[in-house]
Structure 1
Amino acid sequence: MKYILWTLMLFFASSLRGQDKVQFPLLKKKIDSLAFIDIKTGWDVRNGKPTERDSLRKIVKETFLRNAEVLKKIFDEHGFPNYDKVGKESSKNFWLCVQHSDHDLKFQQEVLKEMKKEVKHKKADPSNFAFLTDRVNINLNRAQVYGTQLSYDEQKRAFPKNLKNPKKVNQRRNSIGLEPLEDYLEFATMAHRQMNPDK
Structure 2
Amino acid sequence: MNLSFLRLLLFLLLPALHAGAQYDTAYDAAIARAGLYHLQKDHHNAIRCFEQAFAIQPPDALNAYKAAGAYALDSNAGKAFYYLELALQKGWHDAAWLQQDAYFSYLQYAAPAQWQQLVQNAVANENSFAQTLKQPALRKRINQMALAEQQLRYQAAQTTNDTALQRIHHNIYTTGNENREQAKAILQQYGWPTISSVGKDGQNNFWLLVQHADADIPFQQAALDSMKKIRQSTETDPAHYAFLYDRVQCNLNYPQFYGTQVNWTQQGQANGFRTIAQEEVTDRRRKAIGLPVLAVYALSYGFTYQPVNAATARHREDSLQHLSQSLLDSAAQAYQQQAFPKVYDCYNNASMIAGGMSNEEQLQAAVIFCRIATQTGEQQYKDIALDFLNLLQLRHAISKKSLQQPAFSILQQQPRWAAIYGRLE
* SS of aligned partner of 1:141: coil
8 A Cα contact 2:258 2:282, kept in partner: yes
Matched, 1:29 2:140: yes
User: What amino acid sits opposite 2:150 in the alignment?
Assistant: I
C-alpha change, 1:150 and 1:46, in structure 2 (3 Å) is: farther
Decide which structure has the larger Cα Rg and report it.
2
Please state how far the C-alpha of 1:60 moved relative to its aligned partner: 2.3
User: What amino acid sits opposite 2:237 in the alignment?
Assistant: D
User: What amino acid sits opposite 2:171 in the alignment?
Assistant: I
C-alpha change, 1:154 and 1:185, in structure 2 (3 Å) is: farther
Structure 1 stretch displaced more, 54-63 or 133-142: 54-63
Partners of 1:122 and 1:130 in 2: CA distance: 15
Partners of 1:7 and 1:133 in 2: CA distance: 34
Matched, 1:144 2:256: yes
Q: Give the equivalent residue in structure 2 for 1:6.
A: 103
* SS of aligned partner of 1:119: coil
User: What amino acid sits opposite 1:181 in the alignment?
Assistant: L
Matched residue pairs, number? 188
C-alpha change, 1:50 and 1:117, in structure 2 (3 Å) is: farther
Q: Give the equivalent residue in structure 2 for 1:69.
A: 181
Structure 1 stretch displaced more, 156-165 or 14-23: 14-23
CA deviation vs aligned residue, 1:130-163 (integer Å, no higher than 9, x gap): 1111111111111111111112458945311122
C-alpha change, 1:154 and 1:144, in structure 2 (3 Å) is: same
Please state how far the C-alpha of 1:54 moved relative to its aligned partner: 5.0
* SS of aligned partner of 1:188: coil
8 A Cα contact 1:28 1:90, kept in partner: yes
The answer for unaligned runs of 5 or more in structure 2 is 1-40, 42-71, 74-100, 106-114, 304-425
1:181 to 294, 304, 311: 294
Structure 1 stretch displaced more, 105-114 or 17-26: 17-26
User: What amino acid sits opposite 1:85 in the alignment?
Assistant: S
User: What amino acid sits opposite 2:136 in the alignment?
Assistant: P
2:225 to 102, 113, 129: 113
Task: Output aligned runs, 1:50-129, within 5 Å.
Answer: 51=162, 53=165, 55-129=167-241
Partners of 1:7 and 1:182 in 2: CA distance: 32
C-alpha change, 1:40 and 1:22, in structure 2 (3 Å) is: same
Partners of 1:109 and 1:32 in 2: CA distance: 22
**Identity among equivalent pairs (%):** 30
Q: CA RMSD in A?
A: 2.8
* SS of aligned partner of 2:134: coil
Please state how far the C-alpha of 1:183 moved relative to its aligned partner: 1.3
8 A Cα contact 1:38 1:97, kept in partner: no
Partners of 1:74 and 1:189 in 2: CA distance: 35
Q: Give the equivalent residue in structure 2 for 1:160.
A: 273
Partners of 1:141 and 1:5 in 2: CA distance: 37
* SS of aligned partner of 2:272: strand
Partners of 2:286 and 2:165 in 1: CA distance: 34
Matched, 1:16 2:126: yes
Partners of 2:209 and 2:134 in 1: CA distance: 21
TM-score normalised per structure 1 = 0.82
Bigger RCO (CA 8 Å, 6+ sep): 1
Please state how far the C-alpha of 1:46 moved relative to its aligned partner: 2.8
* SS of aligned partner of 1:56: helix
Please state how far the C-alpha of 1:99 moved relative to its aligned partner: 0.6
8 A Cα contact 2:262 2:270, kept in partner: no
8 A Cα contact 1:158 1:186, kept in partner: no
C-alpha change, 1:26 and 1:144, in structure 2 (3 Å) is: same
Partners of 2:208 and 2:215 in 1: CA distance: 14
TM-score normalised per structure 2 = 0.40
